[in-house]
Amino acid sequence: MGHPPLEFSDCYLDSPDFRQRLKYYEEELERTNKFIKDVIKDGSALISAMRNYSSAVQKFSQTLQSFQFDFIGDTLTDDEINIAESFKEFAELLNEVENERMMMERKKKFEKDGERFYSLLDRHLHLSS
């Protein structure tokens, strides 16, 4: 919903219509402010959850890799050997995925820092000339 424009000429008249339009803008500003605060709060919660997820995946992978059957007799059965190998392969796959995810995060951070550096350098060079 669009709001009626605030005209400077109406400002000094201080009419009831101007007050009503000003009230609409103030209410919209409060809603926008609340929305921005909610976005920041939810974004922070998402980042925290992603960090927790990353550490949980790493812990799960370590648990799978350290899994060993207690066996009766001299050796493990073929099924037990296959299960243990599958756990280890799955754990290695999880480690690779997590390492790639962390590498992508570092790459994004590096590119962002590089972009900021180059924009500052460009600005400095333009000021020098």
Single-letter amino acid, residue 9: S
pTM, two decimal places: 0.52
pLDDT at 1 over 60: no
Considering only 4-8, 28-32, 123-127, which range has the smallest mean pLDDT?
Answer: 4-8
Residue listed under structure tokens 């550096």: 117
Radius of gyration of the chain (CA): 30
* pLDDT > 60? residue 82: yes
pLDDT band at 129 (very low <50, low <70, confident <90, very high): low
Quickly count: other Cβ atoms within 10 Å of residue 61's Cβ.
Answer: 20
pLDDT over 80 (residue 40) = yes
Q: Is residue 71 very low, low, confident or very high in pLDDT (cuts 50, 70, 90)?
A: low
User: pLDDT at position 72, please?
Assistant: 62
pLDDT digits (tens, 9 = 90+) for 56-68: 888 888 888 887 7
Q: What distance in Å separates the CA atoms of residue 84 and residue 87, rounded to the nearest whole number?
A: 5
| pLDDT, mean over the chain | 85
Question: Angle at CA 115, nearest 5°, toward 126 and 117?
Answer: 55
d(CA 47, CA 40): 11
Direct distance between the N- and C-terminal alpha carbons of the chain, in angstroms, rounded to an integer: 48
Q: How far is the C-alpha of 48 from the C-alpha of 41, rounded, in Å?
A: 11
Instruction: Tell me the one-letter amino acid at 98.
Output: E
How confident is the model at residue 86, as a pLDDT? 87
Phi and psi, residue 90, nearest 5° = -65, -40
Among 8-17, 45-54, 93-102, which stretch is predicted with the lowest mean pLDDT? 8-17
